[in-house]
Amino acid sequence: MDLAWWHWMILGLGLGLAELAVASFFLIWFGLGAILVGLILLVAPTTGFTAQMLLWTIASTALTALWFKVFSRFADKTRSGQAAEALGEIGVLVRAVEPFQKGEIRFQKPVMGTEVWPCLADEAIAAGQRVRVLAIDGQLLKVGKS
């Protein structure tokens, strides 16, 4: 049973569509491997079924490994979502803060994914004042006058 080049193309497109439904970001590499086998068969149609399956396995594995190698290289370059991103940032108090009472700080640009954060301070600071993030205590930002 030899598969024609267009069988591999349809399999590749089917796996690509399945990736859209499943959203695992894993099936796409097997789909691209199938499309690659289809393109190779279009150029050299004499390969047998075993060779096609081996080629598909090698292409899919190589594409998956290449993707994770490229992805892991840039994984540590982003600071999005890290707490250190907020240290030193300046924002405006939207709700006054007093010792042992929470206030709210608003940033001009989102910090750690949002513009408004609950905050604490060692001294009373009125709403509308500019404050600087001094530390991070769990989900609260410790602020002081800037």
Mind giving me the DSSP string for 46-99? T--HHHHHHHHHHHHHHHHHHHHHHHHHHGGG--TT-GGGTTT-EEEEEE-BBT
Structure-block tokens of residue 47: 């390969």
pTM over 0.75: no
pLDDT in tens, 49-73: 999 999 999 999 999 999 888 876 6
d(CA 37, CA 61): 13
Contact 9, 35 (CB under 8 A): yes
CATH 2.60.40.10 is the classification of domain 83-145: no
- List the domain boundaries for the chain: 5-77, 83-145
pLDDT band at 144 (very low <50, low <70, confident <90, very high): very high
d(CA 64, CA 56): 12
pLDDT in tens, 77-131: 444 456 677 788 899 999 999 988 999 999 988 887 788 999 999 999 999 999 9
